[in-house]
Amino acid sequence: MTRVSNFTAGPAALPLAVLEQARDELLDFEGSGMSIMENSHRSKTYERVHDEALALMRELMGVPSSHQVLFLQGGARGQFAMVPLNFLSSGKSADYLLTGVWSEGAFEEAQTLGKVRTAGSTKGVGYTRVLRQEELELDAGAAYVHMTTNNTIYGTQWRSEPEVGGVPLVADASSDILSRRIDVSKYAMIYAGAQKNIGPSGVVVVIAREDFLSSGRKDIPQVWRYATHAKANSLWHTPPTFAIYLVRGVLRWVKSVGGLAQIERWNDEKAALLYSTIDADPEYWRCPVERESRSKMNVVWRLPSEALDEKFVKEATAAGLVGLKGYRTVGGIRASIYNAVSVADVARLCDFMKAFAAANRP
């Protein structure tokens, strides 16, 4: 068996130890004589897995008692709709901070459900950075402010939360949740599809303040109300049990290596390695992102020509460095260096880059 260095944007690399454990207990989970997938979601066996995953999420992220953790379905895009559906009640509008494709998607979905405003956008500069505080035009009476903490496609990331006064801050953190320590109390809600840093696709993690959750609309179908899932410990209907079981594995792994403090050190180290390789040869590699906005999760850059971009991806793949092609509408190169991508994987990529540049000068 050869495992590649996987730089795919999502679904993405998972820690090998988590996959090995899943393999080992696939046919007989903890002596139940069946896989975890075949256990009822109402069984004690599954419930222990479910509760441990929720508790680990809370522990690792330092979620305060004011906030709840939920496991939902429908992907991050489901949240693009569920947020306005619950919180965009008549009379109010919501503010959206536009910093890339995903925030635009959230904004468009909200437009179909109520009144929304753009409270800042970096579209004019090709989304090559996030917003500065002084650029925000916030509505003090907004139902919420929506932001994307890490822009997976353009390779930009907020260093800290914007100041939004007393307005609830809602964040799509799909591509940088669990990558660093954050102050959860600053957010009314954080949501993330699991498939980048938390586990496989099929489950969405929502962390939200209880009073915010319970302020949601009551005149919408139960399945789309956050309150329904909050009251039922995310077991109101059948959850994606196997995905949550793998999430538990990933969270156990994060804890075993030293929690978010260690994960953050590794992520800083990986990003520094890769950006310094890019910066060391500015004639050859070009990162379009403004320095202060550079993402530590998705690193984007270009070679001197599109033909070389293509050749680079092809030869990297052959060398076991996969998933490096930039997003289809953006082009170039993108290395997603999520938690399960090791410092050694990134070092291997940097070595490959230096050798490639030396052999392919235009």
Interface residues toward ligand PLP, by CB under 6 A: 10, 75-77, 102, 148, 152, 172, 174-175, 193
Phi, psi of 174 (to 5 degrees): -55, -35
CB 73, min distance to ligand PLP, A: 10
Q: How far apart are CA 212 and CA 282, in angstroms?
A: 47
Nearer to ligand PLP, 68 or 157 (CB): 157
Q: How far apart are CA 52 and CA 56, in angstroms?
A: 6
Which residue of the chain is nearest ligand PLP when measured via CB? Answer: 75
CA–chain centroid gap for 13, Å, is 13
Nearer to ligand PLP, 294 or 308 (CB): 294
CB 175, min distance to ligand PLP, A: 4
Nearer to ligand PLP, 193 or 332 (CB): 193
* CA-wise closest residue to 74 among 174, 5, 147: 174
11 preceded by a cis bond (ω within 30 of 0): yes
Which residue in 95, 102, 176, 325 is the catalytic one? 102
Which residue in 176, 196, 253, 309 is the catalytic one? 196
CB half-sphere exposure, 124, CA atoms < 13 A: 4
Which residue in 172, 176, 309, 345 is the catalytic one? 172
Structure tokens at 24: 């080992």
CB 207, min distance to ligand PLP, A: 15
CB 142, min distance to ligand PLP, A: 21
CB 28, min distance to ligand PLP, A: 31
Residue 196 a catalytic site member: yes
Q: How far apart are CA 355 and CA 362, in angstroms?
A: 14
CB 145, min distance to ligand PLP, A: 16
Q: How far apart are CA 55 and CA 349, in angstroms?
A: 35
Nearer to ligand PLP, 277 or 339 (CB): 339
* CA-wise closest residue to 300 among 317, 321, 275: 275
* CA-wise closest residue to 301 among 341, 340, 274, 320: 274
Catalytic residues: 102, 172, 196
